[in-house]
Chains A and B, each alone.
Chain A
Amino acid sequence: MAGLKHIFENTTVTRINPRFRHEMADAEKLLLCFQCGTCTAGCPVSRFSSFYNPRKIARMVQLGLKDRLLSDAALWLCTTCYTCIDNCPQGVEVANIVRSLRNLSVKERRVMPLISKKLALNILKSGYAYIIPESRIRRRITQGLPHLPRSNLKQIAKLFEVTDFLDTIENAETFEKVEVKE
């Protein structure tokens, strides 16, 4: 009975939100998921770490365990190889659901991986995902490569602004690593 007591004490019924999947893009087909586990069986990340389990993520979205999902660091371990999408017998786009969860987590919790913040700030500052050093740009001439164009930074900043990302990127907290817990 200790087990049951434990379950009751750690389950907050109000946190279950069956309508959660309607808040997300790409999750319409999730009702068709019957938990066969093909996504996890073919997932290269799951093969090396049971900490990332797409089948479990799909089930949690069905149940509407929003808080637990959005604070789950395992979300950030999907490599976007899209094997799960091509293998799903029900046409559920699992990797896209993971992407939607990441997006929602950033939007609502204002936390993202440090690398994502760095890449986004680089794009805002230079148009490129990296700040390409001047020496590298000059070396292109000796390598016989054409000049690398400068991006239109005004337009890029505007796209950040109209998609509500300027404020997020400036104020979001970051985490450096995802520690894998088996």
Chain B
Amino acid sequence: MKNSNPEYLIFLGCTIPYRLPSYEISARKILKALGVKLVEMPDFNCCGFPIDPVNHELASALATRNLCLAEEKEMNILTLCNGCFGFLNKVNKMLKEDEGFRKKINEDLNEIGMEYKGKVEVKHLIHVLAEDVGFEKIRQNVKKSLSMIRVAQHTGCHLLRPSKYTLRDGLDGHTLLKELIELTGAECLDYVDEGECCGNPIIGVNEDIPFQMAREKLEHVKRVNAQALITVCPFCHIMYDLNQPLIERRFKESFRIPVLHYPQLLGLAMGFTPEELAINDLRVKPIELLNSIYNAE
């Protein structure tokens, strides 16, 4: 049974409003059309993930403050970012399972007049699409089949691992994004090392390794002749789209692989125009891809 009137608190995080409004714009468009009601998260803060390397307790307290805000609203959280999902979901589950941890974090939260009770759930966009909207309803909303294009997907680490926190009943994280892509009619190609990391989290201390990782991914995607790479995380997207020209220059290689947020791909299939989905914001312009879609007989 699918949830006929899904309602979520949208947790934007920091990177999407700062660098990738195209993801937010396209996600809001498709969710509204699919009947998912979004309520704005009041005075939220960073999910806490960027602080985890330097202070796990503070990072967890920052995450828990967001969870408490959702508890006050009595609503579950929807995130667009893998980093936010991974961290909020992990902290939420740790708080529910580990009494000692919960007591410690609640002592911190008590200082700001809050208490974590364990009443909400955290989901990523692709979970809401699969579990609340459902494949059938998405299929019904596809007005223009994208059967003329071939793409590849990159789900991103924090939706896949640690599996202890990311496994969900009835869903296979490794194939979910593929299935969602195929609902648009597009073919989703397999390639080598699909589950491998984009490298973005360490780019602040070392560029060489993440750029080599991203280069390898783009090579794998190019080798199977994918016309685009589809992502659902701002960090992965930045690595493959915004940084693609840098990677091309550094390694003297040409990729020209457009990288679309999944809601942009689904949005095109649902009949939204490229302008409505902020596709022109992409660094690598998907000119040939759009030509294939709109000039197909």
Contacts and interface: CB of A to CB of B under 8 A. Distances in A.
Interface of A: 25, 44-45, 48-49, 76-83, 85-86, 93, 99-100, 102-103, 106-107, 112-116, 119-120, 123, 127-130, 132, 136, 139-140, 143-152, 155-156, 158-163, 165, 168, 175-178, 180
Contacts of A163: 55, 57-58, 61, 108
Interface stretch (B36-44, B128-136, B252-260): B36-44
Shortest 8 CB-CB distances between A and B: which pairs? A115-B204, A81-B197, A82-B161, A163-B58, A129-B14, A127-B45, A155-B112, A128-B14
B211 to A, nearest CB: 10
A127 B46 contact: yes
Contact of A151 (B45, B107, B206): B45
Contacts of A143: 21, 25, 278
Interface residues of B, number: 55
A48 B43 contact: no
A165 B55 CA distance: 8
Contact of B205 (A81, A82, A147, A177): A177
Contacts of A25: 56
Contacts of A80: 52, 157-158, 201
A120 B201 contact: no
A83 B205 CA distance: 21
Nearest to B208: A180
A15 B158 CA distance: 37
A165 B25 CA distance: 36
Contact of B51 (A45, A123, A130, A144): A123
